Chains A and B, each alone.
Chain A
Amino acid sequence: MALLVDKLRPRTLDALSYHPELSDRLRSLARSGDFPHLLVYGPSGAGKKTRVIATLKELYGPGVEKIKIDARVFQTTSNRKLEFNIVSSVYHLEITPADVGTYDRVVVQELLKEVAQTQQVDLGAKQRFKVVVINEADHLTRDAQAALRRTMEKYSPNLRLILLANSTSNIIAPIRSRTLLVRVAAPTENDICSALHLAGKKEGWTESEVLNKRIAKESGRNLRRALLMFESIYAQNEKVTDKTLIPPPDWEALVTLTADEILAERSPARLLHVRARLYDLLTHCIPPTTILKTLTFKLVARVDDALKPDVIKWSAFYEHRIKLGSKVIFHLEAFVAKFMRIYESYLMGMDF
């Protein structure tokens, strides 16, 4: 049984329930015959991927839905073998070059060149070009992006790129100027409510409006998250009412607990205890940035107004360090220690 998120994913541009003007634009692009390279950006859970797939369908018809997964092996210059997964249909390829870390340049160059140099085989195809969808384009290294830049110009008759990214900040300017930027904003809380309502109706669940609103608020305008929460609530409770608790994900519960502990006692012993908790989170593959951000917002909500800017300042500072450094636990711990110190000195009314 598929999850709701997958089962109810809209397949065509017409079925998309919000951002109608964006859907119109994508449709006119797909029909114009002159499809540019796209850079689709927006927060996660806003529906970037859904829109891209729907656009592909608009471009090529239902053939794009027949996908297969290939594992390819690439060889780097230093003779290292890289295994790499490619999702493809007859008309398009979908890759996540960030999977292979710093070797993404090799994959981008070899694969795209290969695709670009072969013409569309199917004579009945609607378009003469193939589309390559690149996920997590903002995690590409500079080298890989520079390699893309050459490829985009050189092979544009046979190849169109669709880059998916969370933000355009990490995309180099030459790529930005060669692509058409498409911003996908997160759905508003009302949009989420109506999506949940539709989902509930399709599944035949009795639902409560108030609960839907709470889910929408809790999800932070992330539709995927909202749908997952929605489903888990209905899986866990026989009868759903307005007051049903929304169970937070267990890692978030753990972060909340950690925040409580930090606020309750500020001592080296407690720091040691918190370290164990942080390690616990990290070994469960929670990204350090997510841990730090969640922890920060839990802490900020509970300290005095005067202290809030300071907490944010240090959080941003250590987040930057996490990105630059190599051992994340140092920086997470440093943030906790820093927070304990400023909180303690604020409570005592003196600086130390």
Chain B
Amino acid sequence: MAASFFNNKARAAAAAASSSSKLKAGDNKEDSNRLQPWVEKYRPKTLDDVAAQDHTTKVLQRTLQASNLPHMLFYGPPGTGKTSTILALAKSLFGPALYRSRILELNASDERGIGIVRDKVKNFARAQLSQPTGLDAAYRAQYPCPPFKIIILDEADSMTQDAQSALRRTMETYSRITRFCLVCNYVTRIIEPLASRCSKFRFKMLDNSAAGDRISNIAEQEGLQLEDGVVDTLIRCGDGDLRRAITYLQSAARLVGATKLPAVKDADDDAEMTDAGSNSSVITVRSIEEIAGVLPDGILDSLVEAMQPKSGGSVYEAVSGVITDLVADGWSATQLVGQLYRRVVFNEAIPDIQKNKIVMLFSEMDKRLVDGSDEHLSMLDLALRIAGVLRGN
């Protein structure tokens, strides 16, 4: 009884496996490749590929030649290439064969309490270097393979104070065979004793040209057709965050159905394919803005227009009309506050003294929205109060 049951199950499994392998074998690799987020797919492979962080890459390039590395602390706003840089560096130091045994990568999604630091990190730091076997001279010529391990602590500013202080002594004790690299957004959240043990590298916001080059490069490789101005829009919506810009680009490509179908072979017949798909799969500026949730300029214009002081009577009717439509169309209030802010503050026609008052209103409204106030009332209140300031009382 039991035997036949197992037999059945085994047979079914075998049948399923064979049928699915027949089906999937062909497109499996391409499938997984296609499903990969572009942020991962186009992560820089070497230090030279890292965009627009010349100072940092130059210093690291030099350490690469000298095969020696200090403890490092990378900090800077999100999406500027901190993680990419350290990963690229690690790859060019050790190469594929040694990468696994020499690198420990922990980020915020891993548990990183004090227990883990004492346990996992310390054990890895303490472990003696495994001597690489079976590596020929060519491999050694290509990769320096220096005699130490690297522990990468990504998003280190979300580690607790205790966990950070537990690292202090570990960093020093095993410095002969282990280097640490801390990656964070806010250097102030790293406790002073840790920061002073590392050489700091600041990653600056990407300038527009470097980010633009990167984006158009990706679009070219994916065979996307972009409308004029799409790259600029992506950079603007991304706010200096290249990762966000690339994610938007991928989403837009999915939406218009411009991603390559698995059946089509890429690489060779690129030209033919783009010809075939050109009629419907152009990515427009509007579609990018829609994905980013950005309000179109027309709506903002009408709101600003409605807030202008009128000669006769009140602005209430006009403003409340626009706001009601905004709410019904589902635009997010935080987005509106952000865009309206830029619109008002960079408007030369508004005197500075009024701007002072208006900026205060924005701060209050942002706080309210974060607290979860009703969006309709808050937006209406904001617009009416700005209108009040503009009128001059």
Contact = CB atoms under 8 A, between A and B. Distances in A.
Interface string A171-195: 0000001001101111000000000
Given A43-B328, A183-B290, A177 B244 contact: yes
B314 A168 contact: no
Interface in A257-308: 289, 292-293, 296, 300, 305-306, 308
Interface residues of A, number: 48
Interface in A140-161: 149-150, 153-154
A43 B254 CA distance: 25
B371 A323 contact: yes
Contacts of B293: 168, 181, 183
A291 B307 CA distance: 27
Given A34-B35, A41-B332, A305-B316, A170 B255 contact: no
B101 interface: no
A92 interface: no
Contacts of A183: 290, 293, 329-331
B374 A289 contact: yes
A181 B254 contact: no
Contact of A320 (B243, B247, B327, B373): B373
Interface of B: 16, 20, 31, 34-35, 109, 243-244, 247, 251, 254-257, 259, 262, 290-293, 313-314, 316, 324, 327-335, 368-378, 380-381, 384-385, 387-388
A29 B254 contact: yes
A193 to B, nearest CB: 15
A46 interface: yes
Given A305-B316, A306-B314, 8 more contacts: A32-B259, A34-B35, A46-B330, A168-B293, A186-B329, A220-B324, A220-B328, A320-B378
B329 A323 contact: no
Nearest to B314: A305
Nearest to B238: A177
Interface in A119-134: 123
A168 B257 CA distance: 25
B330 A309 contact: no
A36 B381 contact: no
B384 A308 contact: yes
A186 B330 contact: yes
Nearest to B333: A169
Contacts of B388: 309
A312 B330 CA distance: 21
A32 B109 contact: no
A296 B377 contact: yes
A185 B109 contact: no
A123 B244 CA distance: 36
Contact of B368 (A153, A186, A316): A316
Interface of A: 25, 28-29, 31-34, 36, 41-43, 46, 123, 149-150, 153-154, 167-170, 177, 180-181, 183-186, 220-221, 289, 292-293, 296, 300, 305-306, 308-309, 312-313, 315-317, 319-320, 323-324
Contacts, number: 122
A293 B255 contact: no
A180 to B, nearest CB: 5
Contact of A181 (B256, B292, B313): B292
A167 B333 contact: yes
B330 A313 contact: no
B375 A169 contact: yes
Contacts of A305: 313-314, 316
B109 A150 contact: yes
A43 B375 CA distance: 11
A316 B378 contact: yes
B259 A308 contact: no
Nearest to B331: A183
Contacts of B380: 312, 316
B368 to A, nearest CB: 5
Nearest to B35: A34
B330 A42 contact: yes
Contacts of A316: 368, 373-374, 377-378, 380-381
A324 B368 CA distance: 10
Given A33-B262, A305-B316, A320 B371 contact: yes
B304 to A, nearest CB: 17
Contact of A154 (B109, B335, B387): B109
B328 A319 contact: no
7 contacts: A32-B254, A34-B35, A167-B333, A169-B369, A169-B372, A185-B329, A316-B378
Contact of A323 (B255, B372, B376): B372
Interface centre among A32, A36, A185 (most CB of B within 10 A): A32
Contact of A221 (B259, B328, B335, B377): B328
A284 to B, nearest CB: 20
A349 to B, nearest CB: 17
B377 A153 contact: no
A309 B291 contact: no
A9 to B, nearest CB: 20
Contacts of B109: 149-150, 153-154
Contacts of B20: 123
Contacts of B314: 305-306, 308-309
B384 A25 contact: no
A124 B183 CA distance: 44
A312 B382 CA distance: 9
B291 A186 contact: no
**Nearest 6 A-B pairs (CB), nearest first?**
A305-B314, A42-B330, A316-B381, A186-B328, A28-B257, A309-B384
B18 to A, nearest CB: 12
A309 B387 contact: yes
B327 A309 contact: no
Contact of B374 (A25, A181, A185, A319): A319
B222 to A, nearest CB: 13
B203 to A, nearest CB: 18
A32 B384 contact: no
A169 B334 contact: yes
Given A25-B255, A32-B259, A309-B387, A168 B332 contact: yes
